[in-house]
A and B are shown apart, each in its own frame.
Chain A
Amino acid sequence: MSNKSIKRIDKQAFDVDAWHKLQNFTQARIGLGRAGGSLPTNAQLKFNQDHAKARDAVHAHIDFDAINTALKQQNLSSIHLHSKAKDRTEFLQRPDFGRQLNNNSKEALLHSASSHKKGMDVAIALVDGLSSVAIQKYGCELVQQLIFEFNKLAYTSSSIMLVKQGRVAIGDEIGEIINAKSMVLIIGERPGLSAHDSLGVYYTYNPKLGLNDASRNCISNIRPQGMSIHDATEKIIWLVNQSFNKKLSGVKLKDTTETTENNRSQHSISGNFLLPK
């Protein structure tokens, strides 16, 4: 057989669609190109990498000792707590366990509360939730800024509750036990492909067992590419002040502050460019 019949194939640019510049308009994965009709190698690997980040964020072990040390350097004390979910597998399958303290944590908290019977204006909790990575990266900074602002306003605050395998509603039990007037619960949000390290904050006035989500205000997508820690702090302070005036939180306390959208794409064309003007 003659070698002349064997030709080198041309390397094609599979990952260029003519409209790839539209990527400036959206973070959606458009203009990815294709090999045949299938995803080209680059897009496929990029997807896998983003999924890996999100999966690792869910399953990463949170190092609350490191957070405890960092808080100590700011003269902030903390209390380690654990939900009824014994590990990640149980946490993922039993959301009800993630909403309750385990017995040891409950006792420890009751003990602590017995020496601070007067309670406090604001309780603060850092909860791993579905992204330990978010809490590990940005949790301390948000707490520090909050405490700074609370001190200026002369609001009393709790030790920082460091909660493992926790979900949002665990704040109700914590707040009730320590007799907190309000609860700022900072939690790792469910990771998406584009963001695996977002913090969410759930604010509840007069936290008590048995409340539902209608009693909370939520601030979400807190991360450098989303809402900044500075803006989140401002919103939380606004919520605390408003709720203390109105003695409530949740759907009846509408957030009227301006939203900054740092991630809004800056592009020259706006609106539906598919139609002639």
Chain B
Amino acid sequence: MAFKQILANQHFVFEDLKTLLAKATPLRSGDCLAGIAATSMIERAAAQQALAELPLSHFLNELVVPYESDEVSRLIIDSHNKESFTPIAHLTVGDFRNYLLSYSVTNKEIALISEGLTPEMVSAVSKIMRIQDLILVANKCVNITKFRNTLGLPGHLATRLQPNHPFDDAAGIAASILDGLLYGSGDAVIGINPATDNYQSIGKLVHMLDDIISHYAIPTQACVLTHVTTQIEAINNQLPIDIVFQSIAGTQKANESFGVSLSILDEAYSAVNSLNRGTLGNNNMYFETGQGSALSANAHHDVDQQTCEARAYAVARRYKPLLVNSVVGFIGPEYLYDGKQINRAGLEDHFCGKLLGLPMGMDICYTNHAEADQDDMDMLLTQLGAAGVNFIMGIPGSDDIMLNYQTTSFHDALFVRQVMNKKPAPEFEHWLIKHKIFNSQGELSDQSHLGPFADISHLLR
């Protein structure tokens, strides 16, 4: 269906829904690279006006990727909850924005409609929102998950301790884990990106993390972020896998480029459920996403990168994951050019994921060929703190020496916790206080304090 809009005495025609969505998207380099971005500010403004006037029900009738050829589209339509949608079925996208911002709409109301929302509706409303809207509405959403601790409670901020090493050296990884734990990091997960996908070395890392968590009785979970099929193999071989990780995207073809499909993810979900290793709950999947992944696999079907990203969340929510995060600045400047684009994309991803019911965290990051620096990351970090992000990354000194990019440090998490009065996951916080790593105000102890590692102090000094 074509959409017409008159603005500033100009006639604009947007030939279909995906075109309208793409033209309404705030400027980013990836949509320009794809050749689908608005070509003038006024065209973008006209598209946003037309989008605001579109009824939400339209999104159930016109798909951006055909139902017949894409299993993500089929998942979105087949899992749509009509009953949840009823309260908002008569609203336009513009009305929906007003509704979300209303005082009377709280987490309770949003949770009731969440299953009635499709990724495209959520993406659409985000395109007519400013950063403060994205923060305010996301801040209303409370999406709590549990495995060995409780993540996503209001007033809390967790971190993934990411102890990566360029050749998976056990001592090097152990050193980063110790550093992180003594800085109060690691409640979301201790998660390693391995340098190799060699099965034997993956197995060693899985055992290593499990041994550390057991020995020190840390209320957290472990993950080795290798391909999902390798993790299924590990589970079948009785390796101690806590949660299963996979990178996912918003179209079937993009997922195929990652070597995954819904059926492979179903198999992984069923395998990890069979282990039942969670003590407080059984959210046991972990997904990473990021705007631009579909385009980079040439699998975007001329859909804008933010809508493709939101569609990945439909895949994620099928598996009631413990953790989901976008790796927002990792992909490079051809998709998100500078700090401004990375910042907005991060807040959009967090907002869309939260509205769709996901426990959203964020890898607040950049590469050295992007026009971004630590100040840009501080702005996104602070804004996501205000938006109530479930977790962020924690890495020594912001420098990932394996993946060669910069993400948030252990210190960065302490900063957000300090200025916004946020606490780690309660069970993890209890562990930190018990080992006198934190005092009851959440401040770190003296720098000579080795907490649970006092027994190995002869190795450290």
Contact = CB atoms under 8 A, between A and B. Distances in A.
Interface of A: 16-19, 21-23, 25-34, 36-39, 43, 47-48, 50-51, 54-55, 57-58, 92-96, 130, 190-194, 196, 261, 263-265, 267, 269-276
Given A19-B450, A30-B178, 7 more contacts: A19-B453, A22-B178, A28-B401, A37-B418, A192-B368, A264-B167, A264-B169
17 contacts: A19-B175, A19-B460, A25-B171, A26-B171, A28-B163, A28-B172, A29-B398, A32-B397, A34-B414, A51-B374, A92-B334, A94-B334, A95-B33, A95-B334, A193-B401, A270-B170, A274-B453
B404 A192 contact: yes
A130 to B, nearest CB: 5
B68 to A, nearest CB: 28
B448 interface: yes
Contacts of B177: 274
B176 interface: yes
A190 B444 contact: no
A93 B456 contact: no
B415 interface: yes
Contacts of A274: 174, 177-178, 212, 215-216, 453, 456
A200 B450 CA distance: 41
Contacts of A273: 171, 174, 456, 459
Contacts of B448: 18
Contact of A272 (B165, B170, B398, B447): B170
B413 to A, nearest CB: 9
A18 B449 contact: yes
A16 B182 CA distance: 13
The 4 closest A-B pairs by CB, nearest first: A29-B397, A37-B414, A192-B404, A26-B172
A190 B399 contact: no
A138 B449 CA distance: 45
B446 to A, nearest CB: 9
Contact of B414 (A19, A38, A94): A38
Contacts, number: 176
A26 to B, nearest CB: 4
A180 to B, nearest CB: 27
Given A93-B33, A270-B171, A273-B459, A17 B447 contact: yes
A223 to B, nearest CB: 13
B427 interface: no
Interface residues of B, number: 62
B432 to A, nearest CB: 13
A21 B460 contact: yes
A30 B459 CA distance: 15
Contacts of B166: 27, 263
Contacts of B167: 261, 264
A58 B447 CA distance: 37
A18 B399 contact: no
Contact of B212 (A18, A33, A34, A275): A275
Nearest to B448: A18
A232 B216 CA distance: 43
Interface in B41-65: none
Interface in B331-346: 333-334, 337
A190 B404 contact: yes
Contacts of A25: 169, 171-172, 174-175
Given A39-B411, A43-B397, A92-B333, A30 B179 contact: yes
Contacts of B409: 29, 39
Contacts of A263: 166
A21 B448 CA distance: 13
Given A28-B399, A39-B411, A22 B404 contact: no
Interface string B308-346: 000000000000000000000000011001000000000
A93 B211 contact: no
Given A39-B409, A58-B368, A28 B175 contact: yes
